[in-house]
Structure 1
Amino acid sequence: MTAYAIDVGLPLADGAVITVGTFDGVHRGHQDVLATLVRHAEARGLPSVVITFDPHPLEVVNPAAAPPLLTLTEEKLAIFAQTGVSYVAVVPFTPALAALEAEQFVDEVLLGRFSMRELLVGHDHGFGRGRMGDIEVLRQLGRSRSFQVTVLPPVHAPDGHAISSTAIRRSVAGGDLARAALGLGRPYSISGTVERGDQRGRTIGYPTLNLSPPSPRKLLPPDGVYAVRVQLPEGQFGGMLNLGPRPTVGDHQRRIETHVFDAGADWYGARVRLDFIARLRGTRPFAGLEALKTQLAEDEMQARLILATAQPTPSLS
């Protein structure tokens, strides 16, 4: 175990009800697994434990195929905190861990380290080297090692398609935020720390909150202007966000700038979350600052109208 040692430090002497997975996005399918996990654990009088991995397993076993992430680890933990699970264990995914056979993973990690009494998995779950630990293998191991295996069916979106992280990534990358939100059960979001910008927005009446660049592993929607909800230390506010360059002023760096409606403060250094509600338009150059200011006024009017009818989102930060 030394190469992939897991320091649990959890009070699991009497056992635990466990689920294992990457949980990228913590989408509605994942949420169904987590809600069932909590119910089963409460019925048994045992703690519920989510085991997830960092980095994404494909970053280790096949980096070229590793997808961009819907949720970075810190974002996932914020969502997990709202689900009622007792514990979340973020396990470092290493080549040594990837090399374990499914039986070894069950014996040495799930049973040896987490005292598993019941395992909840989705219908397409697989783990161990080459994902050979499929549902049938798990059931055989459960019978021989006296733990229960509960397999949950897929969750479908209103259009009948099964919800998956892959499908949600396609929606976000294509700018279809409404479809992404259907799968996630909430708007797509990014989190980060407010940093000092060049304060150019103040000169035209639109000061902006500038977010530090997220990890390059984080999936971003296409460049453009968006209506957003802004989760600040003071609460939730509406706003409009420019994602991308600022060609009117000759700035070609990709930036994340948000004008917050009806709020103003020194947020430098604060941790905030931006929820994408709707895309207003693409990024384009204007003839000058006055033309840009006129467009921003139109963007604000459209964003406020959209946000007035959109559902507020819960604070997860």
Structure 2
Amino acid sequence: MLRGDARSWLRMSEPTALAVGVFDGMHSGHRAVLGALCRRAGEQGLIPGVVTFDPHPLAVVAPDRAPAMLTDVEQRIELLGGLGIELVAVVAFDAATRNWSAAEFAVGLLADTLAARVVLAGEDFRFGRDRSGDVAALRLLGESHGFETVVLPLVDGGRPASSRALRAMIAAGEVGAVAAELERPHEVRGTARRHGAGLVAQIPPGRALPAPGTYAALVGRDAGEALPAAVDVDGGVGVRLLGADPGFDGAEFRVRFVARIPADASDSAIRVALGRQGS
């Protein structure tokens, strides 16, 4: 996969089909858009790519309204790769990039640098300084600079799919329903630290954590490691492994929330909850 900072990207020599957005969570609406993108790219011999933003634009423009993030940028890139995306250009959203005009973004970045021939965007997509550009402006800029604009609604079976709805479900502790929507458990990443007989996961600020409570979870240092654990969320994230600790202390690791469970759930009940989610 080609990946990097959009601001320092070298001019593409091969044409692309691009989707633009934060893509936080990679929910069913996102997956529908990216599936359409990959199909269009395959039909037209284009490289399927995504332009995304880190941090979330609201973290710069209106920090008090910035959402808790479902995924960090590395998770997003991994998930995008798993969906067939071959290029990810990350716009480091800061004081400079927030002041790009609509033309600087659409023409300077999408058309000239990333060689876009097709651009897919959600129907509510806004871009450029003070959100001055909308999909109508994107379509006009594309017509004069060589790319087609395709506008797709983020829907799943006729109902809107949104990261906001997923954040609300996570905040309510409904991690099983979230896993069903995402087709994977909600995951947070941080650093494991030894704490008494268990571990504490030090999670970077701004991540979406479930409601206070106890959860059956899978933890590991990478996607291939999934050890059963009970995880307590209450101002912090405490992890009790059901088996031997393989040496997590100080390691970067992942916590995947599978199901909410009673605080006094036995190890066998936790394993049942984990197995039921995987069935």
TM-score, normalised via structure 2 length: 0.88
* Superimposed CA distance per residue, residues 132-176 of structure 1 (whole angstroms, 9 cap, x where no aligned partner): 32222222222222211122232226xx64110111111111112
1:5/1:26 CA distance change after superposition, 3 Å: closer
1:73/1:5 CA distance change after superposition, 3 Å: closer
Alignment partner of 1:54 is 2:54 = yes
Unaligned residue ranges in structure 2 (runs of 5+) = none
Alignment partner of 1:227 is 2:207 = no
Alignment partner of 1:280 is 2:248 = no
Q: Mapping of 1:110-129 within 5 angstroms?
A: 110-129=110-129
Partner AA of 1:274 in structure 2: V
Distance 2:7 2:36 in 1: 25
Q: Mapping of 1:190-209 within 5 angstroms?
A: 190-197=188-195, 199=196, 201=197, 208-209=198-199
Structure number with higher strand proportion? 2
Q: Is the 8 A contact 1:240 1:303 kept in 2?
A: yes
Give the C-alpha shift of residue 6 in structure 1: 0.8
1:169 to 150, 167, 170: 167
1:122/1:182 CA distance change after superposition, 3 Å: farther
Distance 2:66 2:225 in 1: 35
1:87/1:5 CA distance change after superposition, 3 Å: closer
Equivalent in the alignment of 1:43: 43
1:192/1:19 CA distance change after superposition, 3 Å: same
Q: Is the 8 A contact 1:180 1:188 kept in 2?
A: yes
Equivalent in the alignment of 2:185: 187
Greater than 6 Å deviation, 4+ residue runs: none
SS at match of 1:26: coil
SS at match of 1:242: strand
Aligned residues: 274
Distance 2:28 2:138 in 1: 24
Alignment partner of 1:8 is 2:3 = no
Q: Is the 8 A contact 1:238 1:304 kept in 2?
A: yes
The 10-residue stretch of structure 1 (229-238 or 146-155) with the greater mean CA deviation from structure 2: 229-238
SS at match of 1:6: helix
Alignment partner of 1:304 is 2:277 = no
Fraction of identical pairs, as percent: 34
Unaligned residue ranges in structure 1 (runs of 5+) = 202-207, 245-253, 283-294, 313-317
TM-score, normalised via structure 1 length: 0.78
Q: Is the 8 A contact 1:191 1:274 kept in 2?
A: yes
* Superimposed CA distance per residue, residues 247-306 of structure 1 (whole angstroms, 9 cap, x where no aligned partner): xxxxxxx33222233444222333322111111136xxxxxxxxxxxx3xx342321221
SS at match of 2:7: coil
Give the C-alpha shift of residue 236 in structure 1: 2.1
Distance 2:236 2:154 in 1: 37
Give the C-alpha shift of residue 77 in structure 1: 2.1
Equivalent in the alignment of 2:131: 131
SS at match of 2:261: strand
